[in-house]
A and B are shown apart, each in its own frame.
Chain A
Amino acid sequence: MTIKKDYVRPLDIKHGRVDMNHGAGGRASMQLIEEVFARAFDNEFLKQGNDGACLPVPSEFLEGGRMVMSCDGHIVSPLFFPGGDIGCLAVHGTVNDVAMMGARPLYLSASFILEEGFPLADLKRVVDSMAAASREAGVPVVTGDTKVVEQGKGDGCFIATTGVGVVPRGVAVGGANAKPGDMLIVSGTIGEHGVAVLSQRESLEFETQIVSDTAALHTLVAAMLRAAPPGAVHVLRDPTRGGLGTTLNEIARQSNVGMLIEEAAIPMLPQVEAACELLGLDPLYIANEGKLVAAVAPEAADSVLAAMRAHPLGVSAARIGAVVADEHRFVQMQTRFGGKRIVDWLSGEPLPRIC
């Protein structure tokens, strides 16, 4: 008697949908992993097919470097938006969180929570975009997980990513390190991601050419650190949810300082300004996914700014203000109009005003 050779019918990516079997841990799960995830993320660690990834220790550790670890959950709606999708966003978001510690990002993990009924074609599109972003950033996805929830219990696809990286010796970047006198620098025009996503929301749909700024910022960070004397870059942070306004308040609170910024100096595309005006939103509270704000020692500000402007992701970098001593930790802004006001924390979700 001969035993017939295994034949597995390939996944119907074009018409198929995620079902509960894909999350049950059996053959269907294995097939989904092999045909969608492993194929896209393909790397030596993932190929081993173990419960975890066994990774070599980078040389910086041996020279007194420290490890950085950061995680981020991604739940964007809609999943596909002008300029990106949840896949590349999941890579960029975590790479950036690691980079904001002054670290070189090394590896990513990815955990997918899929909703029963989610089209396999969409899943493939998301995973391929994620793989492309990870390759472009040079940060491989080395371990992952997939779960499936019943229809109605998820929003198509959620992705949680974790990143690890290494901070070279001598680099001390952190939210608590801003000092009075530091210059505040933002790496480019603000508000694009939030407006691009809003423009696609069902209830809002408006036509715009604004695309999300989603991008991995670790090479920009590396260029900034190279351009500055050791220890001169005090704070790095990416103003994602809550926007620039909230990020500045976070830094002020952590560092126990105040800030004074100039409205006219904040780079912004006129289309973003116009869309916000129309929707009654304040661009200072709109999310970015490819921008950073830095507090830099004043003597290093010029060289850091020059290095940023020489990098493709920092061409419109600008000095927007300075850190000041203030026990109340107010972020004050000189308005273009000539008055002064606070830029406060965002309260709740940004809601449009009615008249």
Chain B
Amino acid sequence: MKYVDEFRDGALARGIAARIAAEVRPDRRYSFMEFCGGHTHAISRYGIAELLPTEVRMIHGPGCPVCVLPIGRIDQAIGIALDQGAIVCTYGDTMRVPASDSLSLMKAKARGADIRMVYSAADALKIARENPAREVVFFAIGFETTTPPTALVIQQAAKEDLKNFSVLCCHVLTPSAITHILESAEVRQYGTVPIDGFVGPAHVSIVIGSGPYEHFAEEYRKPVVIAGFEPLDVMQAILMLVRQVNEGRAEVENQFARAVTREGNLAAQRAVSDVFELRERFEWRGLGEVPYSALKIRAAYAAFDAERRFELHYKAVPDHKQCECGAILRGVKKPTDCKLFGTVCTPENPMGSCMVSSEGACAAHYSYGRFRDVKVTVEAV
């Protein structure tokens, strides 16, 4: 595949791996958090962990959009579909996230709810146009990457004066989540989660630019390297982080210069601020309530706000008692530290959200990496 294979070149990867190995100091450990699920997925899918020296540890961060979606929000979407008879449209991964009463959107569909998987927000709008007699709700989730398309369909719906379309807005913000982790007791007080730097988001940064991360570098003295989602991007970003740590620098560097600028996509930012405003608080699965960490629909577009239209009230629902998704999302624990991992909690029957999406730390480790836990050695082919 032209323009993709170049970023998956094994020979180049070995070259970077050798350089990382040569530059790490044997007397110290390097713990880097990759914020994004996209990076978690790439690290697992391409076996990047195997190419890194033992001194470098990658901590999987909370940047998997379906993983941080709290049960209460999925319950709301299920309620709209099952009790109010609306068509609920959503992105594929969201279908399997476990909710209350052993339900998920997929299981609600089996009970007769009209749930449609869509590839883009625009598809949801199309479904609304084609079903004028039905309420159509777009269950909008994701970080800054998926927010602008949601803003655009709301603007479009307003332009067309669509009466049957609304959005259940669960869009969340990357910088507030990073601040939350950096402010957490584990990082600040106890130092149980040593974070020496961040692999910064790829697609999110295309929208918001590299500017918003400068605060972390300055205020918290943590290097940030924005990286693309291809495996060579991740390897190079790790090398850049190792160098910053070795040289005592804490800067925002942009490995993903082919797509990310300092300002980001201004047109997208304008659309977002036209339609959305900050929520005072929002519950994240795993992180709990995080202040000013999510978006809600502005009063000017109230007609398209499913929360207002269906008079929804948010009810928080705790996770399974033994589920460690929270600690895993904060980097405090590894998937294998959880008692449920690989026993009652598997990709077929996820108890916690980290097991749902292949971007989740648990699912990625289960599906791609669990052979490392049991030490299977096989000869090369």
A residues whose Cβ falls under 8 Å from a Cβ of B: 203-204, 258, 260-262, 270, 273-274, 277, 279-280, 321-322, 324-326, 328, 330, 332, 334-342, 344, 347-348, 351-355
* Distance to closest chain A CB from B303 (angstroms): 26
B276 CB to nearest chain A CB (Å): 18
Which of B14, B45, B50, B371 has its CB near the most chain A CB atoms (within 10 A)? Answer: B371
- 9 extra A-B contacts, CB within 8 A, seeds A338-B17, A354-B142: A328-B371, A328-B374, A332-B376, A332-B378, A334-B381, A337-B9, A339-B51, A344-B366, A354-B92
- Min Cβ gap B327→A in Å is 23
User: A355 and B203 in contact (CB under 8 A), knowing A203-B119, A262-B381, A338-B13?
Assistant: yes
Stretch at the interface among B36-44, B74-82, B213-221: B36-44
Query: In the docked arrangement, what's the CA distance between A332 and B370, Å?
Result: 10
Q: Interface size (B, Cβ < 8 Å)?
A: 58
Is the CB–CB distance between A342 and B368 below 8 Å?
yes
B47, A337: Cβ atoms closer than 8 Å? yes
- Cβ of B143 and Cβ of A351 under 8 Å apart? no
Nearest A residue to B49 by beta-carbon distance? A339
Q: Which of B51-97 contact A (CB under 8 A)?
A: 51, 65-66, 91-96
Contact between A270 and B378, CB atoms less than 8 A apart: no
**Given B47, B359, B376, B379, which contacts A328 in the complex, CB threshold below 8 Å?**
B376
**Chain B nearest CB, measured from A201 CB (Å):** 10
Q: Which of A261, A277, A279, A354 has the most CB of B within 10 A?
A: A354
* Chain B residue with the shortest CB-CB distance to A274: B1
- Tell me the bound Cα distance from A260 to B37 in angstroms: 27
B302 within 8 Å of A (CB atoms): no
Q: Is B4's beta carbon under 8 Å from chain A?
A: yes
Q: List 7 A-B contacts (CB under 8 A).
A: A277-B1, A332-B371, A335-B46, A341-B368, A344-B366, A352-B92, A354-B91
Q: Assuming the A-B contacts A203-B117, A277-B4, are A355 and B48 also in contact, with contact meaning beta carbons closer than 8 angstroms in the complex?
A: no
Chain B 1-45 interface mask (CB, 8 Å, partner A; 1/0): 100100011100110010000000000000000000110010011
Contact of A339 among B47, B142, B380 (CB under 8 A): B47
Could you tell me the distance in whole angstroms from the C-beta of A259 to the nearest C-beta in chain B? 9
Chain B residues with CB below 8 A from A328, complex form: 371, 374, 376
**B274 within 8 A of partner (CB):** no
- A270–B8 Cα distance when bound, in Å, is 15
Residues of chain A within 8 A (CB-CB) of B381 are: 260-262, 321-322, 334
Q: Write out, one digit per residue, whether chain B residues 357-381 have a CB within 8 A of any chain A CB (1) or not (0).
A: 1110000001111110010101111
B196 interface residue per 8 A CB criterion:
no
Report chain B residues within 8 Å CB of A330: 371, 376
B interface, CB within 8 angstroms of A: 1, 4, 8-10, 13-14, 17, 37-38, 41, 44-51, 65-66, 91-96, 106, 116-119, 123, 141-143, 145-146, 203, 231, 346-348, 357-359, 366-371, 374, 376, 378-381
Tell me the minimal C-beta distance from A268 to chain B in angstroms.
Answer: 10
Instruction: Choose among B51, B94, B371 the residue that contacts A342 (Cβ–Cβ < 8 A).
Output: B371
Question: Which of A204, A262, A280, A344 is most buried by chain B, counting CB atoms within 10 A of its CB?
Answer: A344
Which residue of B45, B93, B346 is within 8 Å of A354 (Cβ)? B93
Is the Cβ of B93 less than 8 Å from the Cβ of A352?
A: yes
Cβ–Cβ < 8 Å partners of B1 in chain A: 270, 273-274, 277
What's the least CB distance linking B67 to chain A, in Å?
A: 11
List the B side residues contacting A337 at CB < 8 Å: 8-10, 13, 46-48, 51, 231
A354 to B106, CA, bound (A): 16
Bound Cα distance A84, B182 (Å): 56
Complex CA–CA separation, A334 to B46 (angstroms): 9
* CA distance in complex: A344, B362 (Å): 14
| Also in contact, A348 and B50, with CB within 8 A (given A328-B371, A332-B376, A342-B369) | no
Q: Is the CB of B143 within 8 A of A338?
A: no
Identify the 7 closest CB pairs spanning chains A and B, nearest first.
A339-B47, A351-B92, A347-B347, A337-B46, A341-B368, A354-B91, A339-B50
- Chain A residue nearest to B38 in the complex (CB): A355
Specify which of B8, B146, B347, B370 is in contact with A336 (CB 8 Å cutoff).
B8
Flag if A203 contacts B123 (CB, 8 Å).
yes
Chain B residue nearest to A326 (CB atoms) is B376
| Cα separation A2 to B231 with both chains bound (whole Å) | 87
Closest to A321 in B: B381
A355→B142 contact, CB < 8 A? yes
The reply to whether A355 and B146 contact each other, CB–CB distance below 8 Å, is yes
Q: How far is the CB of A22 from chain B (nearest CB, A)?
A: 30
Cross-chain contact B65 with A354 (CB below 8 angstroms): yes
Q: B51 to A351, Cβ gap below 8 A?
A: no
A283 to chain B, nearest CB (A): 11
Pick from A279, A336, A342, A352: contact of B367, CB below 8 A: A342
CA gap between A277 and B13 in the complex, in Å: 20
Contacts A203-B123, A354-B65, A355-B142 given; indicate if A338 touches B91 (C-beta within 8 A). no
Contacts of B118 in A (CB 8 A): 203
- Contact across chains for B366 and A355 when beta carbons are under 8 A apart: no
With A270-B1, A339-B49 already in contact, the answer to whether A260 and B367 are too (CB < 8 A) is no
**CB atoms of B347 and A354 under 8 A apart:** no
Q: How far is the CB of A300 from chain B (nearest CB, A)?
A: 17
CB <8 Å contact, A326 and B378: yes
Q: Which residue of A lies closest to B52 (CB)?
A: A339
Q: Give the docked Cα–Cα distance between A262 and B381 (Å).
A: 8
Q: Roughly how many angstroms separate A277 CA and B50 CA in the complex, as a whole number?
A: 23
Which single residue of chain A is at the shortest CB-CB distance from B95? A351
Chain A residues with CB below 8 A from B93, complex form = 351-354
